[in-house]
């Protein structure tokens, strides 16, 4: 009897764990119908400088426009950008990225959304969104504050702005193309 008990238990498990019949579908990643930074933003100030070899003063006052089919920053257009979104602790991100605390940088929130913006698998820049209307853009390892000025643009406005912007690419990430 002792020898048959493990065999009976094994048979019971094998018969109880059969495949379930039903309709299986692969769940696809949803497409974003809006940008995580949707709208028009303006660079208001330099938040923190970690690399003073680049003069960032000309960038202050520049528009940053983000939409699903295009983005504009500092007169440069990005057609069909890809937005990669993560969330992280502010203190950790500032310590690792800038060797500063969130208080040193002047960010109040405990968490930030990290939005990497790519075109053709090449990273152009990173934006840290603190609130719906306040974000920080990383330019060559320096943080500049963005303030939202308009919720969204209609398709015609965006198309006109995209046509006026330059087609060349500037890689603002610390390591261009990464």
What's the pLDDT at 145? 93
DSSP 166: B
| Within-domain flag for 11 | no
Total number of residues shown for the chain: 178
Joined together, the tokens standing for residue 49 give 């400088």
| Within-domain flag for 57 | yes
Range of the domain at 39: 34-164
Mean pLDDT by runs of 10 across the 178 residues of the chain is 66 57 48 68 88 82 86 82 90 89 89 89 88 89 89 76 70 51
| Within-domain flag for 100 | yes
- From residue 24, give the alpha-carbon distance in Å to each of 16, 19, 20, 27: 20, 12, 10, 9
Distance CA 132, CA 151 (A): 10
Domain count, the chain: 1
| Within-domain flag for 3 | no
Cβ atoms within 10 Å of 1's Cβ, excluding its own: 5
| Within-domain flag for 12 | no
What's the pLDDT at 173? 58
Q: Which residues partner with 85 through β-bridges?
A: 115
| Within-domain flag for 174 | no
| Within-domain flag for 1 | no
| Within-domain flag for 16 | no
What's the pLDDT at 135? 93
Sheet holding 82-89, edge to edge: 76-79, 70-73, 63-66, 39-48, 142-150, 134-139, 122-129, 111-119, 82-89
């Amino acid at each position: 009897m002792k020898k048959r008990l493990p065999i009976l238990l094994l048979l019971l498990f094998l018969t109880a764990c059969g495949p379930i019949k039903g309709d299986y579908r692969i769940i696809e990643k949803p497409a974003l119908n809006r940008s995580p930074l949707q709208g028009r933003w303006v660079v208001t100030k330099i938040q923190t400088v970690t690399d003073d070899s680049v003069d960032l003063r000309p960038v202050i006052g520049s528009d940053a426009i983000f939409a699903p089919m295009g983005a504009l920053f500092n007169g440069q257009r990005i057609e069909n950008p890809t937005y990669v979104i993560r969330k992280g602790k502010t203190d950790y991100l500032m310590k690792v990225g800038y060797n500063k605390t969130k208080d040193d940088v002047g960010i109040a929130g405990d968490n930030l959304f990290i939005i990497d913006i790519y075109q053709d698998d090449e990273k152009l820049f990173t934006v840290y969104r603190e609130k719906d209307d306040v974000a920080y853009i990383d330019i060559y390892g320096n943080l500049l504050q963005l303030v939202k000025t308009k919720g969204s643009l209609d398709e015609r406005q965006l198309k006109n702005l995209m046509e006026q912007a330059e087609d060349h690419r500037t890689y603002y990430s610390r390591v261009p193309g990464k």
